[in-house]
Amino acid sequence: MVKKLPKVDAVIVGSGWAGGIAAAELTKAGHNVVILERGRDKKHEDFVGTKDELRYSKRYDLMQDLNKETITSRNSMDKEALPVRNNAQARLGNNTGGAGVHWNGMTFRWLPYDFEIYSKTVERYGKEKIPKNSTMQDWGITYDELEPYYDTYEKTAGISGEENPIGPPRSDKYPTPPMKDTPNIRLFKKATTDLGYHPYHMPSANLSQTYTNPDGETINGCVYCAFCEEYGCDFGAKADPIGTVLKTATKTGKLELRNEANVTRVSHNGKRATGLVYTDTTTGQEFEQPVDIVVLAGFVFTNTKLLLVSKIGEPYNPKTGQGIIGKNFTGHFNNLSTYIGARGFFEDKKFNNFMGTGALGATIDDFSGDNEDHTDLNYLHGYEVHYGQLGTRPIANYQVPEGTPLWGKEFKKQSLKYFNRNLFITAQSGFLPNKTTYMDLDPKYKDALGNPLLRVTVTYDKQDIERAKAGVARCAEIMKEMGADTMNVDVVQDDTAFDHKFYTDHFFGGAIMGESPDNSAVNTYSQMWDMENLFVVGGSSFPHNSNYNPTGTIGAFAYRAAEGMNKYLKSGGLLTQAELKDNA
């Protein structure tokens, strides 16, 4: 039997960056907020002494338990989807702080082109440049309109960075200086400069110095221990929701964070959301939390599944093109591993590869978005090429040149020799939406609570393959300029197909935003067109993927959404930018 609880102002699914930002801004405005987090409670002190590569990088201790909740996947609509049970290519967040706890910290801004991709593509190249299978569209917002929210997020997280020489305009500098320079980074910067490109330090949430943000929360300076991705930071030197927005919200006395609360559906009357139904996974008791506003701030899969199971919005139908929920699923193209590119081996150079941190490195934007002229290219959008010195932990790093035996005495000899004599450059490419890449409910498989699993269908267009090929070729060009004696260069085959696994750790879509309910699920304040007191925040609302990591853009839109939530709780109704300005 479902137990009904006392009503609150707002209830939020998920305690990651999106949910934490919403909670901080709502509680600072005086609203009573409940966060429902399906994972365990975690604090920074829980990560002391946890630099255990086997436990965290191989057994994914901080990640979602795929035996209880996963997706099914397939690479064609005419095939049966199968459950994905390997977390190797997707570090899905669980526990307090979500994926914002174990992320690397790369914090890019997306390009003006990304937010107006359809109109800018047509303006420059004509409609004929857009593939027939494409479903790309403008977002209903411009970079200039989003820029103040980028600035707010970067100051909350204390992002360390340097000016991008060919980047979009900024209203202010990064709040902290860039991370340290290293011989590895200098080698990449020199090579790309000599080739005529424009390198700069990657913007990083691993802070270069101790910093206190506008809410009064202090983030420590990074000590370059090399345990960022897949790990919580015991030193508090990586900006995360635990040490920033959740801490801020907790100080107000207006936040209640309930762990091990697995949300199963949104309760509603067809016009308004009335609350969230969830199961306490420690007792099995089912609860309903009544509210004034509901905020879905989980991962893409969680948000989309909740909308579909709750029968909110019209599910996308790839055969007719009708419906929105589940449409425009995208990630980063990948056929081999999380990143593809070129690895160089050096006979006479050694590097301190064991030292590093999640977002230490340099990148170039010369081929990002539409920075390169695509008139004579067979793909749209681009790729961001970077070298990252994450720190090579011992179990997973045994790189050897092609032709080396992969077992035995010679393998051991060469892997030891090249442990500090190899560097890797990757090209992270965009992946544009198409009609037959989408999400819906699986008709066969169910989760541990008996609800349908989310089914993901992924098909690659020819341009996705060509874009990835171009990125890998650029990596090889740069690695050669860096002076590598030999190289292992990843190969992207012409017949590359999605291979039934998580193919990246960045996913988007399912409840996309736009300027009209005709082509979107939410407006640019992440508010559902069909249900005005329901907000869907995070990568779910992104109509396509850029070639950059998404966290900075998720943070920016979360601040914009929180602004809209506070306005809605004050006045009600669907939000427009003009209304928010008038009531500021």
pLDDT in tens, 462-518: 999 999 999 999 999 999 999 999 999 999 988 877 777 665 668 999 999 999 999
What's the CA gap between 29 and 140, in Å, rounded? Answer: 27
- Of all residues in the chain, what percent carry a pLDDT higher than 90? 85
Beta bridge partners of 263: 278
Computed over every residue of the chain, the mean pLDDT equals: 94
471: helix, coil or strand? helix
Mean pLDDT of 44-55: 90
Mean pLDDT of 102-115: 96
Mean pLDDT of 167-183: 97
* pLDDT confidence of residue 336: 42
Q: Which of 317, 318, 314, 319 is nearest to 511 (CA)?
A: 314
Residue owning tokens 């506003």: 293
Q: E strands, 160-285, where?
A: 199-201, 211-212, 218-219, 255-259, 261-268, 273-280
330: helix, coil or strand? strand
* pLDDT confidence of residue 165: 95
* pLDDT confidence of residue 337: 46
pLDDT at residue 397 tops 80? yes
Cβ burial 195-212 (10 Å sphere, 16+ → b, else e): eebbbbbbbbbbbbeebe
Mean pLDDT of 174-189: 97
Mean pLDDT of 52-62: 88
Structure tokens that stand for 534 in this block: 């329901």
* pLDDT confidence of residue 502: 63
Burial class (CB in 10 A: 0-12, 13-18, 19+), 30: exposed
Give the pLDDT band (50/70/90) at residue 180.
Answer: very high
Give the pLDDT band (50/70/90) at residue 315.
Answer: very high
Mean pLDDT of 521-533: 97
Q: Number of helices (H) and strands (E) in the chain: give both, helices first.
A: 12, 20
pLDDT at residue 63 tops 90? no
Burial class (CB in 10 A: 0-12, 13-18, 19+), 495: exposed
Residue 490 CA: distances (Å) to CA of 116, 205, 469, 480:
32, 29, 9, 14
User: In this predicted model, which residue has the larger pLDDT, 566 or 63?
Assistant: 566
Burial class (CB in 10 A: 0-12, 13-18, 19+), 256: middle
Q: E strands, 246-350, where?
A: 255-259, 261-268, 273-280, 286-296, 341-345
* Reported pTM: 0.96
* pLDDT confidence of residue 339: 78
Give the pLDDT band (50/70/90) at residue 579.
Answer: low
* pLDDT confidence of residue 49: 85
Q: What is the pLDDT of residues 458-475, one digit of tens each?
A: 998 999 999 999 999 999
pLDDT at residue 335 tops 60? no
Provide the H-helix boundaries in 206-344. 245-251, 300-309
Mean pLDDT of 522-541: 97
- Of all residues in the chain, what percent carry a pLDDT higher than 70? 96
Residue 72 CA: distances (Å) to CA of 34, 55, 454, 487:
30, 25, 6, 36
* pLDDT confidence of residue 506: 86
318: helix, coil or strand? coil
**Catalytic residues, which ones?**
506
pLDDT at residue 127 tops 80? yes
